[in-house]
Structure 1
Amino acid sequence: MEDDMANLRLLDDDEENAFHKNAQIVDLDLEFSLVGTCLTDSVVYFLSVRNKLANLRHPVGGICITDLGEKRYMFKFFHVIDMNRVLEGLPLFFNNHLLLLHKLDKNEDPLTLSLHSAIFWIQVHDLPLGFMSKTMARHFGDFLRDFMEYDTRLPSLGIYGYMRIRVILDVRVALK
Protein backbone atom coordinates (compact mmCIF):
# COMPACT_ATOMS: atom_id res chain seq x y z
CA MET A 1 0.00 0.00 0.00
CA GLU A 2 2.87 2.42 0.76
CA ASP A 3 4.31 1.73 -2.71
CA ASP A 4 0.97 2.65 -4.28
CA MET A 5 0.86 5.93 -2.35
CA ALA A 6 4.47 6.77 -3.25
CA ASN A 7 3.63 6.45 -6.96
CA LEU A 8 0.57 8.69 -6.69
CA ARG A 9 1.17 12.03 -8.46
CA LEU A 10 -0.86 14.98 -9.66
CA LEU A 11 -0.46 16.09 -13.24
CA ASP A 12 0.35 19.76 -13.84
CA ASP A 13 -3.22 20.48 -14.98
CA ASP A 14 -4.69 18.79 -11.91
CA GLU A 15 -2.37 20.73 -9.62
CA GLU A 16 -3.44 24.11 -11.03
CA ASN A 17 -7.13 23.20 -10.71
CA ALA A 18 -6.65 22.02 -7.13
CA PHE A 19 -5.13 25.36 -6.08
CA HIS A 20 -7.78 27.29 -8.00
CA LYS A 21 -10.58 25.43 -6.20
CA ASN A 22 -8.96 26.04 -2.81
CA ALA A 23 -8.76 29.78 -3.54
CA GLN A 24 -12.52 29.83 -4.17
CA ILE A 25 -13.19 28.03 -0.91
CA VAL A 26 -11.10 30.57 1.03
CA ASP A 27 -13.16 33.44 -0.45
CA LEU A 28 -16.40 31.78 0.64
CA ASP A 29 -15.10 31.11 4.15
CA LEU A 30 -15.29 34.79 5.08
CA GLU A 31 -19.06 34.94 4.68
CA PHE A 32 -19.95 34.11 8.30
CA SER A 33 -16.56 34.80 9.88
CA LEU A 34 -15.38 36.86 12.82
CA VAL A 35 -11.81 37.67 13.73
CA GLY A 36 -10.97 38.23 17.35
CA THR A 37 -8.31 38.75 19.96
CA CYS A 38 -8.15 38.77 23.75
CA LEU A 39 -7.38 42.14 25.27
CA THR A 40 -4.49 41.07 27.49
CA ASP A 41 -0.72 41.13 27.64
CA SER A 42 -0.55 37.66 29.17
CA VAL A 43 -0.23 34.43 27.22
CA VAL A 44 -3.48 33.01 25.86
CA TYR A 45 -3.45 29.32 24.98
CA PHE A 46 -5.31 28.57 21.78
CA LEU A 47 -6.55 25.15 22.90
CA SER A 48 -8.25 26.63 25.96
CA VAL A 49 -9.79 29.40 23.83
CA ARG A 50 -11.05 26.89 21.29
CA ASN A 51 -12.45 24.48 23.88
CA LYS A 52 -14.15 27.20 25.92
CA LEU A 53 -15.60 29.16 22.99
CA ALA A 54 -16.62 26.18 20.85
CA ASN A 55 -19.76 25.88 22.96
CA LEU A 56 -20.37 29.60 22.63
CA ARG A 57 -24.14 30.08 22.57
CA HIS A 58 -24.39 26.45 21.39
CA PRO A 59 -24.18 27.09 17.63
CA VAL A 60 -26.76 25.18 15.62
CA GLY A 61 -24.66 24.92 12.46
CA GLY A 62 -21.34 24.49 14.27
CA ILE A 63 -18.23 26.62 14.56
CA CYS A 64 -14.64 26.31 13.43
CA ILE A 65 -12.02 28.25 15.43
CA THR A 66 -8.61 28.76 13.83
CA ASP A 67 -5.44 30.21 15.34
CA LEU A 68 -4.14 32.97 13.04
CA GLY A 69 -1.10 33.68 15.22
CA GLU A 70 -0.26 36.78 17.26
CA LYS A 71 -3.24 36.16 19.59
CA ARG A 72 -5.71 36.35 16.69
CA TYR A 73 -8.44 33.84 16.09
CA MET A 74 -10.84 33.22 13.23
CA PHE A 75 -14.36 32.17 14.18
CA LYS A 76 -16.09 30.58 11.17
CA PHE A 77 -19.80 29.96 11.61
CA PHE A 78 -21.79 27.80 9.25
CA HIS A 79 -25.10 29.58 9.72
CA VAL A 80 -25.89 33.30 9.90
CA ILE A 81 -28.11 32.80 12.96
CA ASP A 82 -25.15 31.51 14.98
CA MET A 83 -22.96 34.46 14.04
CA ASN A 84 -25.71 37.01 14.76
CA ARG A 85 -26.40 35.41 18.14
CA VAL A 86 -22.76 35.92 19.12
CA LEU A 87 -22.71 39.51 17.82
CA GLU A 88 -25.90 40.36 19.71
CA GLY A 89 -24.42 38.93 22.92
CA LEU A 90 -21.34 41.15 22.91
CA PRO A 91 -19.26 41.92 24.91
CA LEU A 92 -17.68 38.51 25.48
CA PHE A 93 -14.97 37.63 27.95
CA PHE A 94 -12.48 34.78 28.07
CA ASN A 95 -10.79 34.14 31.44
CA ASN A 96 -11.75 37.67 32.56
CA HIS A 97 -10.20 39.24 29.45
CA LEU A 98 -12.28 41.16 26.95
CA LEU A 99 -12.63 39.38 23.61
CA LEU A 100 -12.61 41.89 20.75
CA LEU A 101 -14.52 40.61 17.72
CA HIS A 102 -14.95 42.03 14.23
CA LYS A 103 -17.19 40.74 11.43
CA LEU A 104 -15.06 40.21 8.35
CA ASP A 105 -15.95 41.63 4.97
CA LYS A 106 -14.75 40.04 1.74
CA ASN A 107 -11.88 42.49 1.17
CA GLU A 108 -10.52 42.57 4.73
CA ASP A 109 -7.34 40.80 5.76
CA PRO A 110 -7.81 39.25 9.23
CA LEU A 111 -4.08 39.53 9.99
CA THR A 112 -3.74 43.27 9.34
CA LEU A 113 -7.14 44.36 10.65
CA SER A 114 -6.96 46.74 13.60
CA LEU A 115 -8.93 45.33 16.53
CA HIS A 116 -9.48 48.21 18.92
CA SER A 117 -13.22 48.60 19.49
CA ALA A 118 -15.82 46.74 21.49
CA ILE A 119 -19.59 46.88 21.87
CA PHE A 120 -21.00 47.67 25.31
CA TRP A 121 -24.33 48.34 26.94
CA ILE A 122 -24.10 51.59 28.92
CA GLN A 123 -26.54 52.48 31.69
CA VAL A 124 -27.42 56.15 32.28
CA HIS A 125 -28.93 56.61 35.75
CA ASP A 126 -30.96 59.33 37.49
CA LEU A 127 -32.64 60.75 34.41
CA PRO A 128 -36.11 62.29 34.57
CA LEU A 129 -38.66 60.26 32.61
CA GLY A 130 -38.92 63.02 29.98
CA PHE A 131 -35.26 62.49 29.09
CA MET A 132 -35.62 58.74 28.54
CA SER A 133 -36.17 58.95 24.81
CA LYS A 134 -34.47 57.65 21.73
CA THR A 135 -33.30 61.17 20.84
CA MET A 136 -31.52 61.55 24.19
CA ALA A 137 -30.13 58.01 23.92
CA ARG A 138 -28.69 58.88 20.50
CA HIS A 139 -27.08 62.05 21.93
CA PHE A 140 -25.52 60.12 24.82
CA GLY A 141 -24.35 57.32 22.51
CA ASP A 142 -22.82 59.68 19.95
CA PHE A 143 -21.08 61.57 22.76
CA LEU A 144 -19.43 58.32 23.91
CA ARG A 145 -18.55 57.34 20.30
CA ASP A 146 -20.91 55.40 18.06
CA PHE A 147 -24.57 54.92 18.97
CA MET A 148 -25.98 51.52 17.97
CA GLU A 149 -29.34 51.05 19.68
CA TYR A 150 -31.48 52.00 22.63
CA ASP A 151 -33.31 49.54 24.85
CA THR A 152 -36.90 50.77 24.62
CA ARG A 153 -38.32 48.15 27.01
CA LEU A 154 -36.92 49.61 30.23
CA PRO A 155 -38.46 53.13 30.32
CA SER A 156 -41.84 51.87 29.15
CA LEU A 157 -42.02 49.54 32.15
CA GLY A 158 -41.72 52.57 34.45
CA ILE A 159 -39.87 50.68 37.17
CA TYR A 160 -36.28 51.37 36.21
CA GLY A 161 -34.55 54.68 36.80
CA TYR A 162 -32.05 54.32 33.98
CA MET A 163 -31.80 53.86 30.24
CA ARG A 164 -29.62 51.37 28.39
CA ILE A 165 -27.67 52.42 25.30
CA ARG A 166 -25.61 50.11 23.13
CA VAL A 167 -22.46 51.80 21.82
CA ILE A 168 -19.15 50.98 20.16
CA LEU A 169 -16.24 52.13 22.33
CA ASP A 170 -12.58 52.45 21.47
CA VAL A 171 -10.77 50.32 24.04
CA ARG A 172 -7.47 52.13 23.45
CA VAL A 173 -9.02 55.26 24.95
CA ALA A 174 -10.61 53.34 27.82
CA LEU A 175 -7.27 51.79 28.81
CA LYS A 176 -5.45 55.12 29.19
Structure 2
Amino acid sequence: MENLAEKWNSLSLSEKEKTNFVLQRDQQTGEFMMAAQFLTPRFLNMEIMARTFKQLWRSTNGFKIRNQKDHRVLFVFDNLGDVDRILKNQHWSFDKFLVMLQRYNSEILVRDLVFKTTLFWIQVHDIPVRFMNRSVAEEICDTIGEVQKSMGAVDEEGGNFIRVRVLVDISLPFDKECELWMESKGTLKSEQQQFNSSLKAAPCNAAGKEVIYVPGFYEQRKPKAHASSQVLHAQPSPSERRS
Protein backbone atom coordinates (compact mmCIF):
# COMPACT_ATOMS: atom_id res chain seq x y z
CA MET A 1 0.00 0.00 0.00
CA GLU A 2 2.87 2.39 0.83
CA ASN A 3 4.55 1.62 -2.51
CA LEU A 4 1.30 2.46 -4.30
CA ALA A 5 1.06 5.80 -2.46
CA GLU A 6 4.66 6.64 -3.38
CA LYS A 7 4.02 5.87 -7.04
CA TRP A 8 0.86 7.99 -7.00
CA ASN A 9 2.72 10.97 -5.50
CA SER A 10 5.40 10.70 -8.17
CA LEU A 11 2.88 11.05 -11.01
CA SER A 12 2.41 14.37 -12.76
CA LEU A 13 -0.15 15.56 -15.29
CA SER A 14 0.41 17.64 -18.39
CA GLU A 15 -1.60 20.80 -18.98
CA LYS A 16 -3.85 18.93 -21.40
CA GLU A 17 -4.44 16.10 -18.91
CA LYS A 18 -5.41 18.60 -16.19
CA THR A 19 -8.47 19.66 -18.19
CA ASN A 20 -11.67 19.00 -16.26
CA PHE A 21 -14.49 17.01 -17.79
CA VAL A 22 -18.00 17.95 -16.73
CA LEU A 23 -20.90 15.54 -17.19
CA GLN A 24 -23.92 17.27 -18.73
CA ARG A 25 -27.42 16.60 -17.47
CA ASP A 26 -28.76 16.04 -21.00
CA GLN A 27 -26.27 13.19 -21.41
CA GLN A 28 -28.10 11.10 -18.83
CA THR A 29 -29.98 7.99 -19.92
CA GLY A 30 -33.71 7.56 -19.32
CA GLU A 31 -33.04 4.99 -16.63
CA PHE A 32 -34.01 4.74 -12.98
CA MET A 33 -31.58 2.93 -10.72
CA MET A 34 -31.37 1.39 -7.28
CA ALA A 35 -28.08 0.55 -5.61
CA ALA A 36 -28.09 -2.58 -3.46
CA GLN A 37 -25.78 -3.91 -0.77
CA PHE A 38 -26.10 -7.67 -0.19
CA LEU A 39 -25.16 -8.62 3.36
CA THR A 40 -24.60 -12.27 2.53
CA PRO A 41 -20.99 -13.46 2.99
CA ARG A 42 -21.41 -15.91 0.13
CA PHE A 43 -20.62 -15.48 -3.54
CA LEU A 44 -23.37 -13.67 -5.47
CA ASN A 45 -24.77 -15.75 -8.31
CA MET A 46 -26.16 -13.13 -10.70
CA GLU A 47 -28.41 -15.53 -12.61
CA ILE A 48 -30.08 -16.87 -9.47
CA MET A 49 -30.44 -13.31 -8.19
CA ALA A 50 -32.13 -12.26 -11.44
CA ARG A 51 -34.64 -15.13 -11.28
CA THR A 52 -35.38 -14.46 -7.61
CA PHE A 53 -36.16 -10.77 -7.96
CA LYS A 54 -38.00 -11.25 -11.25
CA GLN A 55 -40.55 -13.34 -9.34
CA LEU A 56 -40.64 -11.04 -6.32
CA TRP A 57 -40.81 -7.65 -8.04
CA ARG A 58 -42.82 -8.44 -11.19
CA SER A 59 -41.57 -5.26 -12.84
CA THR A 60 -43.44 -3.73 -15.76
CA ASN A 61 -40.70 -3.97 -18.39
CA GLY A 62 -38.06 -6.03 -16.61
CA PHE A 63 -34.73 -4.68 -15.40
CA LYS A 64 -30.97 -4.99 -15.78
CA ILE A 65 -28.44 -5.97 -13.12
CA ARG A 66 -24.93 -4.54 -13.09
CA ASN A 67 -22.43 -6.16 -10.76
CA GLN A 68 -20.34 -3.51 -8.96
CA LYS A 69 -18.22 -5.97 -6.93
CA ASP A 70 -17.94 -6.19 -3.12
CA HIS A 71 -21.54 -7.48 -2.95
CA ARG A 72 -22.87 -4.27 -4.46
CA VAL A 73 -25.23 -4.27 -7.41
CA LEU A 74 -27.10 -1.76 -9.55
CA PHE A 75 -30.68 -2.54 -10.57
CA VAL A 76 -31.64 -0.55 -13.66
CA PHE A 77 -35.29 0.08 -14.65
CA ASP A 78 -37.01 2.11 -17.34
CA ASN A 79 -40.09 2.59 -15.15
CA LEU A 80 -40.00 4.93 -12.15
CA GLY A 81 -43.17 3.38 -10.73
CA ASP A 82 -41.40 0.03 -10.29
CA VAL A 83 -38.57 1.66 -8.34
CA ASP A 84 -40.99 3.55 -6.08
CA ARG A 85 -42.99 0.39 -5.36
CA ILE A 86 -39.94 -1.77 -4.61
CA LEU A 87 -38.45 0.80 -2.24
CA LYS A 88 -41.80 1.29 -0.53
CA ASN A 89 -42.13 -2.45 0.14
CA GLN A 90 -38.71 -2.88 1.78
CA HIS A 91 -37.11 -4.77 3.31
CA TRP A 92 -35.99 -7.51 0.91
CA SER A 93 -33.74 -10.50 1.43
CA PHE A 94 -31.67 -12.84 -0.72
CA ASP A 95 -30.10 -16.12 0.36
CA LYS A 96 -31.75 -15.47 3.77
CA PHE A 97 -29.67 -12.31 4.22
CA LEU A 98 -30.77 -8.70 4.20
CA VAL A 99 -30.54 -6.65 0.99
CA MET A 100 -30.20 -2.90 1.54
CA LEU A 101 -31.54 -0.63 -1.20
CA GLN A 102 -31.35 3.05 -2.00
CA ARG A 103 -32.03 5.26 -4.99
CA TYR A 104 -29.01 5.90 -7.16
CA ASN A 105 -28.66 9.08 -9.20
CA SER A 106 -25.19 8.27 -10.64
CA GLU A 107 -23.63 11.47 -9.28
CA ILE A 108 -21.29 9.53 -6.99
CA LEU A 109 -19.51 6.22 -7.37
CA VAL A 110 -21.32 3.11 -6.15
CA ARG A 111 -18.32 2.12 -4.05
CA ASP A 112 -18.62 5.42 -2.14
CA LEU A 113 -22.26 4.91 -1.16
CA VAL A 114 -23.03 4.45 2.54
CA PHE A 115 -25.48 1.70 3.48
CA LYS A 116 -26.35 2.17 7.12
CA THR A 117 -30.12 2.25 7.54
CA THR A 118 -33.02 0.24 6.19
CA LEU A 119 -36.78 0.01 6.74
CA PHE A 120 -38.30 -2.65 8.99
CA TRP A 121 -41.82 -3.44 10.11
CA ILE A 122 -41.67 -3.47 13.92
CA GLN A 123 -44.40 -5.29 15.83
CA VAL A 124 -45.37 -3.65 19.13
CA HIS A 125 -46.94 -6.20 21.47
CA ASP A 126 -48.55 -6.14 24.93
CA ILE A 127 -49.98 -2.63 24.73
CA PRO A 128 -52.95 -2.26 27.15
CA VAL A 129 -56.16 -2.47 25.13
CA ARG A 130 -57.35 1.05 25.95
CA PHE A 131 -53.99 2.45 24.81
CA MET A 132 -53.69 0.29 21.72
CA ASN A 133 -53.49 2.96 19.03
CA ARG A 134 -51.00 4.08 16.43
CA SER A 135 -49.71 7.15 18.25
CA VAL A 136 -48.71 5.07 21.32
CA ALA A 137 -47.00 2.44 19.16
CA GLU A 138 -45.08 5.09 17.23
CA GLU A 139 -43.88 6.78 20.43
CA ILE A 140 -42.56 3.43 21.67
CA CYS A 141 -40.74 2.85 18.37
CA ASP A 142 -39.05 6.27 18.55
CA THR A 143 -36.45 4.57 20.78
CA ILE A 144 -35.58 2.14 17.95
CA GLY A 145 -35.14 4.47 15.01
CA GLU A 146 -36.84 7.02 12.79
CA VAL A 147 -40.56 6.27 12.64
CA GLN A 148 -42.16 6.56 9.21
CA LYS A 149 -45.53 8.16 9.86
CA SER A 150 -48.57 6.24 8.68
CA MET A 151 -52.27 6.91 8.24
CA GLY A 152 -52.99 3.68 10.10
CA ALA A 153 -54.01 1.30 7.35
CA VAL A 154 -56.11 -1.65 8.45
CA ASP A 155 -53.56 -4.24 7.36
CA GLU A 156 -51.00 -2.77 9.77
CA GLU A 157 -52.91 -4.16 12.77
CA GLY A 158 -52.36 -7.74 13.82
CA GLY A 159 -55.11 -8.13 16.42
CA ASN A 160 -52.89 -8.21 19.50
CA PHE A 161 -50.15 -5.92 18.16
CA ILE A 162 -49.58 -2.89 15.92
CA ARG A 163 -47.00 -2.75 13.15
CA VAL A 164 -44.90 0.40 12.76
CA ARG A 165 -42.57 1.25 9.88
CA VAL A 166 -39.15 2.23 11.30
CA LEU A 167 -35.87 3.25 9.71
CA VAL A 168 -33.31 1.18 11.65
CA ASP A 169 -29.55 1.64 11.92
CA ILE A 170 -28.28 -1.83 10.98
CA SER A 171 -24.76 -1.03 12.20
CA LEU A 172 -26.08 -1.61 15.73
CA PRO A 173 -25.03 -5.02 17.15
CA PHE A 174 -28.32 -6.94 17.11
CA ASP A 175 -27.35 -10.00 15.02
CA LYS A 176 -24.72 -12.76 14.80
CA GLU A 177 -22.27 -10.46 12.98
CA CYS A 178 -21.87 -8.03 15.91
CA GLU A 179 -18.37 -7.36 17.28
CA LEU A 180 -18.97 -9.00 20.69
CA TRP A 181 -20.13 -12.22 19.07
CA MET A 182 -17.24 -12.26 16.60
CA GLU A 183 -14.66 -11.59 19.32
CA SER A 184 -16.06 -14.42 21.44
CA LYS A 185 -15.86 -16.75 18.40
CA GLY A 186 -19.45 -17.79 19.00
CA THR A 187 -19.00 -18.64 22.69
CA LEU A 188 -20.91 -15.66 24.12
CA LYS A 189 -23.38 -16.94 26.73
CA SER A 190 -27.06 -16.07 26.43
CA GLU A 191 -27.00 -13.96 29.62
CA GLN A 192 -24.18 -11.89 28.11
CA GLN A 193 -26.06 -11.22 24.89
CA GLN A 194 -27.95 -7.96 24.71
CA PHE A 195 -30.07 -9.21 21.80
CA ASN A 196 -30.87 -12.62 20.34
CA SER A 197 -33.07 -14.34 17.77
CA SER A 198 -36.15 -13.98 20.00
CA LEU A 199 -36.45 -10.44 18.62
CA LYS A 200 -37.50 -11.87 15.27
CA ALA A 201 -41.25 -11.46 14.96
CA ALA A 202 -43.53 -14.00 13.35
CA PRO A 203 -44.97 -12.80 10.02
CA CYS A 204 -48.48 -11.39 9.93
CA ASN A 205 -51.14 -13.99 9.23
CA ALA A 206 -51.63 -13.96 5.47
CA ALA A 207 -54.36 -16.62 5.47
CA GLY A 208 -56.98 -14.50 7.21
CA LYS A 209 -57.46 -11.07 8.72
CA GLU A 210 -56.79 -10.63 12.42
CA VAL A 211 -58.76 -7.39 12.56
CA ILE A 212 -62.16 -7.07 10.86
CA TYR A 213 -64.14 -3.84 10.64
CA VAL A 214 -67.92 -4.25 10.52
CA PRO A 215 -69.89 -1.30 9.05
CA GLY A 216 -72.99 0.07 10.78
CA PHE A 217 -76.49 -1.30 10.10
CA TYR A 218 -77.67 1.70 8.08
CA GLU A 219 -74.36 2.19 6.28
CA GLN A 220 -74.80 -1.18 4.56
CA ARG A 221 -78.27 -0.20 3.37
CA LYS A 222 -77.47 3.15 1.80
CA PRO A 223 -78.95 3.44 -1.72
CA LYS A 224 -76.35 2.88 -4.43
CA ALA A 225 -77.76 5.58 -6.70
CA HIS A 226 -79.45 8.82 -5.71
CA ALA A 227 -82.01 8.44 -8.50
CA SER A 228 -83.34 5.22 -7.01
CA SER A 229 -84.62 7.10 -3.96
CA GLN A 230 -86.59 9.59 -6.01
CA VAL A 231 -90.35 9.20 -6.62
CA LEU A 232 -91.22 9.19 -10.31
CA HIS A 233 -94.50 10.82 -11.36
CA ALA A 234 -96.08 9.79 -14.67
CA GLN A 235 -97.29 12.61 -16.84
CA PRO A 236 -100.78 12.29 -18.39
CA SER A 237 -101.04 11.65 -22.09
CA PRO A 238 -102.43 14.41 -24.40
CA SER A 239 -105.78 12.58 -24.62
CA GLU A 240 -106.02 12.39 -20.83
CA ARG A 241 -105.30 16.13 -20.53
CA ARG A 242 -108.15 16.94 -22.96
CA SER A 243 -110.67 15.04 -20.88
Tell me the TM-score range normalised by the shorter chain. Answer: 0.7 to 0.9
Give RMSD over aligned pairs: 2.8
Alignment of 1:100-111 (within 5 A): 100-105=100-105, 107-111=107-111
Deviation at 1:58, TM superposition (A): 0.8
Distance verdict in 2 for CA 1:50–1:156, change over 3 Å: closer
Match of 1:55 in 2: 55
Whose radius of gyration is greater, 1 or 2?
2
SS in 1 for 2:68: strand
Distance (Å, rounded) in 2 between the aligned partners of 1:131 and 1:106: 46
Distance verdict in 2 for CA 1:129–1:150, change over 3 Å: farther
Deviation at 1:118, TM superposition (A): 1.8
Deviation at 1:126, TM superposition (A): 1.2
Could you report, residue by residue, the CA deviation over 1:77-127 in whole angstroms, capped at 9, with x for unpaired residues?
211221122112211111211111111245343221011222110100111
SS in 1 for 2:148: strand
Could you report, residue by residue, the CA deviation over 1:39-81 in whole angstroms, capped at 9, with x for unpaired residues?
1222222232123223332101321111111111101121122
Match of 2:27 in 1: 24
SS in 2 for 1:149: coil
Higher helix share: 1
User: Percent identity of the aligned residues?
Assistant: 22
Match of 1:80 in 2: 80
Distance verdict in 2 for CA 1:156–1:168, change over 3 Å: closer
SS in 1 for 2:171: helix
Distance (Å, rounded) in 2 between the aligned partners of 1:60 and 1:162: 35
Deviation at 1:134, TM superposition (A): 3.5
Match of 2:94 in 1: 94
SS in 1 for 2:58: coil
Match of 2:37 in 1: 37
Match of 1:169 in 2: 168
Higher strand share: 1
Query: Retained in 2: the 8 A contact 1:154–1:163?
Result: no
Match of 2:132 in 1: 132
Distance (Å, rounded) in 2 between the aligned partners of 1:156 and 1:121: 9
Distance (Å, rounded) in 2 between the aligned partners of 1:155 and 1:69: 38
Deviation at 1:155, TM superposition (A): 9.2
Distance verdict in 2 for CA 1:25–1:83, change over 3 Å: same
Query: Retained in 2: the 8 A contact 1:35–1:103?
Result: yes
Match of 1:113 in 2: 113
More displaced stretch, 134-143 vs 112-121? 134-143
Matched letter for residue 25 of structure 1: Q
Matched letter for residue 53 of structure 2: L
- Which of the pair has the greater relative contact order for Cα pairs under 8 Å at 6+ separation? 1
What 5-or-longer segments of structure 1 have no aligned partner? 1-19
Distance (Å, rounded) in 1 between the aligned partners of 2:129 and 2:156: 10
